[in-house]
Amino acid sequence: MRYISGNALRCAAKIIGKTDTTSILFLLFLVICGFLLRIYHLGAPSFWLDEAITANAAAALAAHGTPAFPSGFIYIRSILNTFFIALSFMIFDVSEFSARFPSVIFGTLMIPLVYRMGARLGNRKIALIAALFTTFSVIEIAWSRQARMYQQLQFFYLASIYFFYEFSSNDPAINIKNRRYLYLLLTILFFIGAVLSHEFGYVLILVFIPYFLIANFDVIKKRWKDYIAVKYFIGLVFFILFLVLFLKFMGSDFPHVISYVYENIWLQDDGYFEAYLKNLTAEFSVFFLPGNIWSAVVH
């Protein structure tokens, strides 16, 4: 039994990217706490308006294979989220609990994902602190208990950024082990997941292209006249256009996203961001006293 447990911890360490057993155990503890906080009395509150819209579309998809309302309108927005909820309905039956369960899963998966990103971009301590905040964040818990697409979007969005960062990295280990194409494939898959979860996923295009050009500026400068490099660049442009058209066919509308961001005044409303910052300040203050005590003990 001890041998099996040791192998399990080593496997988890390889996946997460660190070998410190204490960190792995603490992360597992956070994942368990996060899951329990997100699933506790999950089905108790009744659906609110937006949840009811998603639940009705998912119930129709599970029953008839089409996310159509009784009026005949086909609800294709965030179709991947509707699919996951429909799958949950088929497993657990139609209820508030089963409609919200996919969000619980994605919200819980955010904890190890945030840890991995923190460990990759910073260090193990930063990763654990970030995972701790994600576990107990009121906003994270609240949206992990909704039959909506936002927690799912967050997971696919951040995961695609992580895999794209690995793909764009000049780390020799990635090149030697030939994992670059795997990271590219995972980036594409999670990008598609983000866009089919919410149209905001298209913003990733505006993240990926500038970052890739900046991160690989020296290589591009040396090889911009290379026929093979130009061929790959042209192929990438056509692939992006094809991907946008494919996602539009699947129900996402890129021009609508651009016009929405440009026209909606809530993005310019200081009150929205002020309320968000106040909420974050209140959450961080909870960790102020324990953090000081921990710092005093450690140092």
Last residue of a domain, one of 121, 148, 175: 148
Q: Is residue 245 part of a domain?
A: yes
Q: Is residue 291 part of a domain?
A: no
Tens of pLDDT, residue by residue over 77-123, are 899 999 999 999 999 999 999 999 999 999 999 999 999 999 998 88
* Mean pLDDT, residues 229-242 taken together: 63
Residues 99 and 57 in one domain: yes
Q: Is residue 281 part of a domain?
A: no
Q: Is the pLDDT of residue 236 over 90?
A: no
Last residue of a domain, one of 116, 148, 180: 148
Residues 99 and 130 in one domain: yes
Tens of pLDDT, residue by residue over 141-174, are 999 999 999 999 999 999 999 999 988 876 666 5
Q: Is residue 93 part of a domain?
A: yes
Tens of pLDDT, residue by residue over 105-116, are 999 999 999 999
* Mean pLDDT, residues 224-249 taken together: 62
Q: Is residue 282 part of a domain?
A: no
Q: Is residue 8 part of a domain?
A: no
Phi, psi of 94, rounded to the nearest 5 degrees: -80, 120
Residues 158 and 124 in one domain: no
Residues 62 and 141 in one domain: yes
Residues 178 and 127 in one domain: no
Domain span at residue 40?
25-148
Residues 121 and 172 in one domain: no
Residues 96 and 203 in one domain: no
Taking all residues of the chain, what is their mean pLDDT, rounded to a whole number?
A: 80
Residues 112 and 171 in one domain: no
Residues 127 and 159 in one domain: no
Residues 182 and 135 in one domain: no
Last residue of a domain, one of 148, 173, 197: 148
Residues 120 and 190 in one domain: no
Tell which wins on pLDDT, 291 or 49: 49
What local confidence, expressed as pLDDT, does residue 46 receive?
93
Number of domains the chain contains: 2
Q: Is residue 119 part of a domain?
A: yes
Q: Model pTM?
A: 0.76
Please list the residues that pair with 68 across neighbouring strands: 74
Residues 50 and 136 in one domain: yes
* Mean pLDDT, residues 275-284 taken together: 68
What local confidence, expressed as pLDDT, does residue 151 receive?
96
Q: Is residue 251 part of a domain?
A: yes
Q: Is the pLDDT of residue 10 over 70?
A: no
What local confidence, expressed as pLDDT, does residue 202 receive?
84
